[in-house]
Each structure stands twice: as structure tokens, then as C-alpha cells.
A and B are shown apart, each in its own frame.
Chain A
Amino acid sequence: MKKQLLLFLRTLNARAYVRIFGQMREATWVVASVLGGFFTMATYIYLYRTLGTGSEFSGLVVLGGFMTPFFLNVLWGVATQLYWEKEMGNLELMLVSPAPLSAFLVGLSVGGAMHTMLRSLSVLFFGIAVFKVKFTVLHLPLALLVFLVTLFSMYGLGIVFSSLFLYHGRDAWRTADLVMEPTSVLSGTYFPARFLGLGLLGIAALIPTTLGLDALRQLLVPSFTVRVLDWRWELLILIGLGLVFAFIASWALRSVEYKARRDARLTLRWQ
């Protein structure tokens, strides 16, 4: 048991290390992703100014801009990662090693969250500095708690989806490309999720960013009133979602890996 745990942690550490330091090697990657996030944020802030909404909407957009890199990292850095590993020929090496696949994915998530933090904080900083957005820091520890639980839940969802990419090829990649924008919109990244209406909100609540962002807005934007639920309830739901995703991820990885081995899909490239 102790040996297995040690192996898990060492694998986690090794994969997280690559994610954190590998991504720092190219300054252009960091600069471009911060600029990309900033421009998207600027688009929505100017759009709200055009529409004549209150200034609190700038705060909502900046928080959305802060969470967007995490969302993109979950989608492209965790969920689709096994597809890229397969395409590059690394997956077979990972699978013949004694290290558990789940440890690779948790390592990816931990490393991904850490390197994304720098980008997200930069977007937040520029958002605050350029658009003069004000947040209340009265509930900062609680906001941090909500943020960490949201990350736990988001990356859990990412690992669930990564099992799909273990089996599928370009079709899964295309699907990720297809759902990226609608998912980002539905999770209320740039507007309060309550405006989605009950039907859409029910679906959107399954995306952890939706409730996580809503809770963060309640805690950090003083004039935010169009909440979905009280942040305490949202925190509980997020914890529940995180646990459910962790359970499904562990089950899905095992069963899809078995199915992929059986159908000889693990080394199938460019399909």
C-alpha cells in the first residue's frame, strides 16, 4: 500500500514538474495567453459599456477572465491530453510503465493549475489596473476556499473527459473544439449565469465554473445581486460535484483503458 502510494506521488510530482516548468520555457506562450485573455475581457467590458449596464459588470467580466485560463487548461491541457500523448507515441510508454494513469492525470491537473495561476493572476492584474475594477477583500479567505473547491471540481471533470480521449481520436478532439465556446458562454463567464433561465441553468450547473464563478462574484463583487443560489449552497454543490467527478473519473479511466486495450486503440494514431 505504502509502495503504491509512493509511486502515485512520485508520478504525480514528475508529471506536474513537466507541466509547470515546461510551460515556463517559452516566454511567448505566457505573454500570448495573457494577452488573449486580456483582449477577450476587454471585448466584453466595452460591450457592457456600449449596452449601458452598471459598472459592476466590469468586475464580473474580470473575474470571468480570471477563470477562463483554468477552463481552457482543463479542456485542452487535461481532457485532451491523452489524445496528444497517443498521437506523439508517449501513451504506450506511459501504459507499460508501472505508474498509474490516474497519477499522470492528477499530476497534469496539479501542474496545469499551478502554471495557469500565473496567467490568470496576470489577466486579473491587468483587468484591475486597466479597467479600474474594484473588489471587496472582506471575504478573501472564503473566496479562496470557493476558488480551490471550484478548481478541484473542474479538474475532476477534466479527468472524466480524458478517459474519452483515451479511446477516441480526432472525433473527440473535434467535439472538444465544438463545445469550447458554448460551454464557456453557458458557464456565465462573462455575464451572471442567472440570466440563462432555469432550463439552461440546470445544464450549466453541471459545469463547475458556473457555480464557482457565481459564488466568487457574491464574495468579491459587493454590488452583485443576481446570484443563482447562496454561495454556501454553491460551495456544497461544488464539493459534491468534485467528489462525484473523482469517482466517475476513477471508474471511467479503468473501464475505458480496458476497452481501449481490448480494441487495440491505444497506439492508433492520426485517426
Chain B
Amino acid sequence: MKGFLASMYVGLQIESNWTKKWVWLLYLAAYPIGSFLAVIILYGVFGQKTGLLPYALYGTIFYYSLSMVFFDMAFSVHDDREHYQTLKYIFLSSTSYRTYLCGRAATRYLIALAGIAINLCWLVPVLRLPFHPSWGYFIAGAVLGYLVAAGLGLAMASVFLLTIKLDVDVVDALFGGMFVLSGALFPPTAFPAVFARIAEFVPMSPFIELMRRAVSGKVLTGFLSDLSTFQLLGRVTLSAAVLFALGSVLVSFGSRQAQRKGYIDVTTAF
């Protein structure tokens, strides 16, 4: 726990100590705007009659919160090894590398959730979004969502540990692929039938739908509507348990192999 908290502190410093505190708070509030600006413009211009704006907006911002964890975990391997050249010291410390990654990403997740909360303060009244939060489901969903994203992030980090020149574009491509399929931006009914079916099993889909219901207080479209909120919570719990366990095993394996192969302090300057 001490290592986890220390890693969270390191994460906070990396995220915030590049500027003054008040500038960082503005940055924190402004950063998520990029994730939903296109949604507001596109649904505002073309989709007013569809009534899908709340679905797309909530979906996009909660996908954004997961992507921050996912991306941060994968990128921190590269960042610590190549850029700051501190990866070897992290491995020498008494905290396990998995704990370090989880701690750093937890800070990133909390920062993303704080940014979302700040933006919802104006989005809800201005866009008249349905907002009847169910705090129990929201908190449970937020914790489980972190575990889902952390599981995927740890798996990706293990790949980065074992490949020196892998670019973060790979993470972007995976993240992009899951964004299309997860139904975050539009109901997957637009897909061919096969992909629409796959969309239900993308690990992010139940989490996003759970958070939509937890915040808006209603079922916004037919996507996953045959599942009750409690059943959704069950599905997210299952995803979180499987993915986090898998990610933990992979990152432990990746750490051992990377140490054996001497990949911990290799710099390529690419």
C-alpha cells in the first residue's frame, strides 16, 4: 500500500509539476474537452433529432477516462526507460513494478475523473443532459472500470517491456479499434451484424453502459438494454477480475524477461 501511494504521488508530480498549480487546474479542466468537442458539434449539427447526444457524450467521456489509464501505463514504460532513464531505479526499489504502474495510472484516472466532473458541471445544464446519478453504481463502476483499464494497460506494458522500439502508435491503434467497437460514440447497431455482436463483448462496453446508466439514471438506447444495471455490474466485475489478473501475470512475466534480456536500461533515442 505504501508503494502504491508513493507511486500515486510520483504520478501526481509527473502530471502537475511542469507548471503553476492554478495553470494545472485549468489544464485539468480543459483537457477532456478535446475528447467530446467533436461529439457536441456533430450531434449538435446532424443528430439533434436522434436524441443520441447524451448516449454519445457520456460514452465518450467515460471511454476517455479509461483510455487515460490504458495509455499512461503503456507509455510510462517508454517514458521511464527512454526519456527520464529511471526505469532501472524503479526496478531496484522495493516496490513491485506492477504496483508502481497501478499507482501512477490511478492518479491519471483520478485526474481524468476530476476533469470529467468539472466539465459535467456545465455540460449537464447547458445541453440539458439527463442527470440522475446512482452513486452506488457510479462508485462501484468507477473502481471496476479502473481495474478493467489497468488490466489492459498492464498487458500492454508487458509488451512494451519486451520490445525496445515499439511505438505508442500501437496503443493508439488498439485504443482506436476498441473505441469504434465499444459503442462509446454511437450505438453499434450501425455496424454489420457480426461487429454489432462483437461490440457487446468488448471489455469497455459494459463499463461504459454501466456508467451511462449510473449518471443519467436511465437506459439511453437499445444497446445492452436486455441487461439490468445489476447484471451489467456483474459483467464489469467479471471483466475487471479476468483482465486485471491477466495483466498482472503478463507484467510480472514481462518484468522478469526484460531484466533477463537487459531491456530495463536500454535507450535507443528513436
Contact = CB atoms under 8 A, between A and B. Distances in A.
A49 interface: yes
B52 A50 contact: yes
Contact of B185 (A47, A179, A182, A270): A47
Nearest to A47: B186
Contact of A170 (B18, B167, B179): B18
Nearest to A183: B34
- The residue among B19, B45, B84 with the most chain A CB atoms within 10 A of its own CB is B45
Interface string A79-103: 0000000011010000000000000
Contacts of B45: 191, 195
A35 B34 contact: no
A13 interface: no
Nearest to B52: A50
A-B residue pairs, 8 tightest by C-beta: A181-B34, A39-B176, A32-B169, A170-B18, A35-B173, A50-B186, A36-B173, A32-B170
Nearest to A26: B165
Contacts of B170: 28, 32
A43 B167 contact: no
A217 B50 CA distance: 27
Contacts of B167: 26, 28-29, 32-33
B38 interface: yes
Contact of A36 (B38, B166, B176): B176
B150 to A, nearest CB: 21
B19 A46 contact: no
A102 B173 CA distance: 33
Report whether over half of chain A's contact residues are helix, strand or loop; otherwise say mixed: helix
A23 B19 CA distance: 33
Interface of B: 18-19, 27, 30-31, 33-35, 37-38, 41-43, 45-47, 50, 52, 83-84, 165-167, 169-170, 172-173, 176-177, 179-180, 185-187, 189-191, 269-270
A174 B50 contact: no
Contacts of B190: 46-47, 49-50
A190 B31 contact: no
A53 B180 CA distance: 18
Interface of A: 22, 25-26, 28-29, 32-33, 35-36, 39-40, 42-43, 46-53, 87-88, 90, 169-171, 174, 177-182, 185-186, 190-191, 195-196, 270-271
Contacts of B35: 181
Nearest to B171: A32
Contacts of B269: 88, 90
Contacts of A32: 167, 169-170, 172-173
A103 B34 CA distance: 33
B155 to A, nearest CB: 16
Contact of A182 (B18, B33, B84, B165): B33
Contacts of B50: 50-52
19 contacts: A22-B270, A25-B165, A28-B165, A29-B167, A32-B170, A35-B173, A35-B176, A35-B177, A36-B173, A39-B173, A39-B180, A50-B190, A51-B43, A169-B18, A174-B18, A180-B34, A182-B33, A182-B37, A185-B41
A87 B83 contact: yes
B186 A178 contact: no
Contacts of B31: 177-178
A50 B52 CA distance: 10
Given A47-B42, A190-B42, 7 more contacts: A22-B270, A32-B167, A43-B179, A50-B186, A179-B34, A180-B34, A271-B18
Contacts of A196: 41
Contacts of B191: 46
Contacts of B43: 51
Contacts of A53: 46
Nearest to A29: B167
Nearest to B40: A185
A50 B177 contact: no
Given A35-B176, A196-B41, A270-B84, A171 B18 contact: yes
A102 B185 CA distance: 42
A190 B185 CA distance: 14
Contacts of A50: 47, 50, 52, 186-187, 189-190
Contacts of B33: 181-182
A243 B31 CA distance: 32
Contacts of A49: 190
Chain A CB within 10 Å, residue with most, of B187, B189, B190: B190
B261 to A, nearest CB: 18
Contacts of A48: 46
Contact of A178 (B30, B52, B165, B179): B30
Contacts of B41: 185, 191, 195-196
Contacts of A51: 42-43, 46-47, 50, 52, 186
